Amino acid sequence: MKTASSKSKSGTNMKDEIMTIKDLSLYLKINEKTIYKLAKQGKLPGVKIGGMWRFKKEAIDSWMMNASKQINGGKNDSD
């Protein structure tokens, strides 16, 4: 019996997925210019390689969870 896998089409784990500005813009549903601005300010976890920004999906997901906790004061949606 097969189980669901977290591998992408390329065979790599989704948590290891590297995203571009465009990928991240689509994932977060915000403008690419906003992504550039936040990355340049150091507010998004990413690295600039050869003049191009790259982001690990796992780091972005953690960043979003932490930002959500700060906004909600540590409360989750079920409180």
Look up the CATH number of the domain holding residue 24.
Answer: 3.90.105
Q: How far apart are CA 51 and CA 41, in angstroms?
A: 15
- The answer as to whether 61 is a domain residue is yes
Q: What confidence score (pLDDT) does residue 39 get?
A: 96
Token couple for 19: 């995203």
Q: What confidence score (pLDDT) does residue 9 get?
A: 53
- The answer as to whether 30 is a domain residue is yes
What is the per-residue pLDDT across 45-79, written as a single tens digit (0 to 9) for each?
A: 999 999 999 999 999 999 999 988 888 876 655 55
Q: How far apart are CA 14 and CA 7, in angstroms?
A: 6
What is the domain count for the chain?
1
Exposure string of 25-63, with b = 16+ CB inside 10 Å and e = fewer, is bebbeeeeeebeebbeeeebebeeeeeebbbbbeebeeb
- The answer as to whether 22 is a domain residue is yes
Question: What does pTM read for this prediction?
Answer: 0.70
- The answer as to whether 9 is a domain residue is no
Residue 62's domain spans which residues?
A: 15-71
- The answer as to whether 76 is a domain residue is no
- The answer as to whether 25 is a domain residue is yes
